[in-house]
A and B are shown apart, each in its own frame.
Chain A
């Protein structure tokens, strides 16, 4: 091979390399946007698949991804092909960059000999790494995000049973407690169990839906109200019995009647309520004659009261039960504390009360003090009471509140009629002279003088 041919071969080899580099750059450029779009779409599909499918189809995804990638590479190559350079074009690029004065082109046409190849060849370009890598990195980021982002599948076979709402568990616990202790009748518990089952029969994904939670809430509230109602009735009945037992013989007729009514109301409330105490207790209470409490021996009475207290206590332990316990029945406690000796219970506002009370062991007859609100201090004649200004926003230091005799400050200057019906004040002193006596020229002169 001659020297000329050697140079030609070297230059052409180099030109092929440069052409390859430029063509690869074109291919990568055309690949950038489709890669980004495909990665974005693929990421969405992966996320969707992870969300919707029970088991993510890894093999299918890899195959589809591979096919997509290959198609994209092919399409990008086809698009980029229009821009591809031949080695001859690359040779022009080299000679332009290296300022070879088109000697390579001339040599290629046989006009001049091939020049010697220098050690360093510069084609005038270098890789634009940020532009080159940004689509690849962005695509990788999209795909990684779609794979690693925590997304819970709609129905994961590996996941355990869905945790039901806490309210259901509470109601279930109440049912178990009440059923085990045999506190209330089974019918209510069965109904409650049945309604709870209805809620459970819904699809699991609907357990926490708005309607389901609302129904749960309503059931829990109704159950709570029933528990509270039973508990209150039991306590009322027990306390009424207690009061009757303790103070029955010494009690005033009104108070005794009221306790009897209370007891009957409580028993009726228990009978009418959805949640009834256990059959044995209810029967006992029904058969009990409050008028004939003396007929019961203390042990029987104590047993009955214990049964009622126990039942009320269990009701109170229920999650659905409130902390009620006979709210608004303080009069009964008072009565028990007072020993039932007075008639003061018949005060205003009390059932059966007429006018002021007749007094009790703690107070005399008459209207209870403070019935109409907080009592103020008595102000008698001659007493001194300090006045205090609450709103000091409009007061000024030195303001004096006082009344005094005086006249309004009225301008009593005579006012004379003027032409055209106008009325003008004549003024006083120098002002009057200024207005009435001086001519315009004199006024002007004076104004000039005093300026």
Chain B
């Protein structure tokens, strides 16, 4: 496979920069979140956004859909939502004088799905969505229907009001490339929001790229050069999440899966394109590692009781695992901590 050239990357970078600027007009003060959402999109990944209501999660997704000129649908998940309600149902219709079941596509048949409060749906419905996320196709009555490309799910969940919810099982959480935490805005950002936005009106966003352009950028991301040493770093990082493999993993009950390693690699490549580089780097991996790993590692009960969070464990892990695989002899002293 030929690697992406600097020209191609620079060209893609222009589009991404424009996209980034557009999204920053939708959501103020969330530059890092927007960066990571774009990274997730360019990695062809699905994103789970966790945050309190009103922080702009839905606005971000709608802005993204508009700027990408992609079809988007929003599904509000409720406990009585059935799998057929999202995948689509066969409906009995008369076709050419004959009665037959005709498949009516559900809201999943779109480019960007905003799955609001995904943890309120029953596990049955959740699993139907997650299967579609993984396979990018839906099977109804034995017939498989491909979902449109590109296909992204941006799900949200509320960390409070957990009564009557169905928390996503770890195996299903693993399908999300990123779990992003949407944090509250500071005073300056709130002031900007008050000054520049009005309740009930949406910002005017022009399409930055269409589906074809996006598909081209996505293909370019795949051609980004991932050096062996970076792949080795990803592998060591994922391995270190397993109990007994590192000091930080002492608080981890279950570590990251190989899918996490693939996600790290894809996200690192996407970061490289965003930064207009033709190769992924250690720093890219380190930057996306918390978003990729925080929902994939299960902490020990004691660690959770002590108030330890996955973010803290991952930070320790990143400090512990050095970039280069070769150990440093003890007769040499590191001038900077490992993994920096």
Give the distance in Å from the alpha carbon of A66 to the alpha carbon of B336 in the complex. Answer: 39
Q: Which of B227, B328, B329 contacts A109 (CB 8 A)?
A: B227
Instruction: Judge whether A212 is part of the interface by a CB distance below 8 angstroms.
Output: no
Interface string of B311-340 (1 = CB under 8 A from A): 000000000001110111111111110000
Instruction: Judge whether B278 is part of the interface by a CB distance below 8 angstroms.
Output: yes
The answer to whether B334 and A125 have CB atoms under 8 Å apart is yes
Main secondary structure of the interface of B (DSSP, over half): loop
The answer to whether B335 and A26 have CB atoms under 8 Å apart is no
The answer to whether B3 and A111 have CB atoms under 8 Å apart is yes
Q: Given A122-B335, A127-B333, are A83 and B327 neighbors across the interface (CB < 8 Å)?
A: yes
Main secondary structure of the interface of A (DSSP, over half): helix
Give the distance in Å from the alpha carbon of A241 to the alpha carbon of B275 in the complex. Answer: 133
- Considering only residues 124-141 of chain A, those with a C-beta below 8 Å from chain B are 124-128, 131-132
Binding stretch for chain B, among A100-108, A146-154, A303-311, A415-423? A100-108
Report the nearest B residue to A94, measured CB to CB: B324
The answer to whether B279 and A111 have CB atoms under 8 Å apart is yes
In the complex, what residues of B have CB within 8 A of residue A26's CB? Answer: 329, 331
- Considering only residues 31-70 of chain A, those with a C-beta below 8 Å from chain B are 32
The answer to whether A101 and B331 have CB atoms under 8 Å apart is no
In the complex, what residues of B have CB within 8 A of residue A127's CB? Answer: 331-333
In the complex, what residues of B have CB within 8 A of residue A89's CB? Answer: 324, 326
The answer to whether B323 and A103 have CB atoms under 8 Å apart is no
The answer to whether A102 and B282 have CB atoms under 8 Å apart is yes
Return B324 CB to nearest CB of chain A, in Å.
5
In the complex, what residues of B have CB within 8 A of residue A92's CB? Answer: 229, 323-324, 326
Instruction: Judge whether B178 is part of the interface by a CB distance below 8 angstroms.
Output: no
The answer to whether B230 and A102 have CB atoms under 8 Å apart is yes
Give the distance in Å from the alpha carbon of A93 to the alpha carbon of B323 in the complex. Answer: 8
The answer to whether B332 and A102 have CB atoms under 8 Å apart is no
Interface string of B215-234 (1 = CB under 8 A from A): 00000000001011110000
User: What's the interface size class on A, roughly?
Assistant: 20 to 34
Instruction: Judge whether B6 is part of the interface by a CB distance below 8 angstroms.
Output: yes
Instruction: Judge whether A251 is part of the interface by a CB distance below 8 angstroms.
Output: no
Instruction: Judge whether B283 is part of the interface by a CB distance below 8 angstroms.
Output: yes
Interface string of B193-221 (1 = CB under 8 A from A): 00000000000000000000000000000
The answer to whether A85 and B326 have CB atoms under 8 Å apart is yes
The answer to whether B278 and A111 have CB atoms under 8 Å apart is yes
In the complex, what residues of A have CB within 8 A of residue B278's CB? Answer: 106, 111-112
Return B201 CB to nearest CB of chain A, in Å.
41
In the complex, what residues of B have CB within 8 A of residue A83's CB? Answer: 326-327, 329
Q: Which of A21, A29, A111, A126 contacts B225 (CB 8 A)?
A: A111
Give the distance in Å from the alpha carbon of A421 to the alpha carbon of B178 in the complex. Answer: 100
Report the nearest A residue to B232, measured CB to CB: A92
Q: Which of A112, A126, A128 contacts B330 (CB 8 A)?
A: A128
Give the distance in Å from the alpha carbon of A103 to the alpha carbon of B281 in the complex. Answer: 8
The answer to whether A22 and B333 have CB atoms under 8 Å apart is no
Instruction: Judge whether A274 is part of the interface by a CB distance below 8 angstroms.
Output: no
- Considering only residues 1-35 of chain B, those with a C-beta below 8 Å from chain A are 3, 6
Instruction: Judge whether A394 is part of the interface by a CB distance below 8 angstroms.
Output: no
- Considering only residues 3-49 of chain A, those with a C-beta below 8 Å from chain B are 21-22, 25-26, 28-29, 32
The answer to whether B225 and A109 have CB atoms under 8 Å apart is yes
Instruction: Judge whether B280 is part of the interface by a CB distance below 8 angstroms.
Output: yes
Instruction: Judge whether B44 is part of the interface by a CB distance below 8 angstroms.
Output: no
Return B224 CB to nearest CB of chain A, in Å.
9
The answer to whether B282 and A29 have CB atoms under 8 Å apart is no
- Considering only residues 347-385 of chain A, those with a C-beta below 8 Å from chain B are none
Instruction: Judge whether A99 is part of the interface by a CB distance below 8 angstroms.
Output: yes
The answer to whether A101 and B277 have CB atoms under 8 Å apart is yes
Give the distance in Å from the alpha carbon of A222 to the alpha carbon of B277 in the complex. Answer: 107
Q: Which of B6, B230, B335 contacts A124 (CB 8 A)?
A: B335
The answer to whether B333 and A125 have CB atoms under 8 Å apart is yes
Q: Given A103-B279, A111-B3, are A126 and B332 neighbors across the interface (CB < 8 Å)?
A: yes
Instruction: Judge whether A97 is part of the interface by a CB distance below 8 angstroms.
Output: yes
Give the distance in Å from the alpha carbon of A122 to the alpha carbon of B54 in the complex. Answer: 47
Instruction: Judge whether A96 is part of the interface by a CB distance below 8 angstroms.
Output: yes
In the complex, what residues of B have CB within 8 A of residue A109's CB? Answer: 225, 227
Q: Which of A32, A85, A96, A128 contacts B333 (CB 8 A)?
A: A128
In the complex, what residues of B have CB within 8 A of residue A99's CB? Answer: 283
Give the distance in Å from the alpha carbon of A127 to the alpha carbon of B333 in the complex. Answer: 6
The answer to whether B324 and A96 have CB atoms under 8 Å apart is yes
Enumerate the 6 nearest inter-chain pairs by beta-carbon distance, A residue then B residue, closest first.
A96-B323, A106-B279, A101-B281, A125-B332, A25-B329, A102-B281
Sampled A-B contacts (22; CB under 8 Å): A21-B332, A22-B332, A25-B332, A29-B329, A32-B331, A92-B229, A96-B282, A97-B335, A101-B279, A101-B283, A103-B277, A103-B281, A105-B227, A105-B229, A105-B230, A106-B227, A106-B278, A112-B279, A125-B328, A125-B334, A125-B335, A128-B331
Given A22-B328, A102-B280, A109-B225, 8 new contacts (CB under 8 A): A83-B329, A101-B281, A103-B279, A103-B281, A105-B227, A111-B278, A126-B335, A128-B330
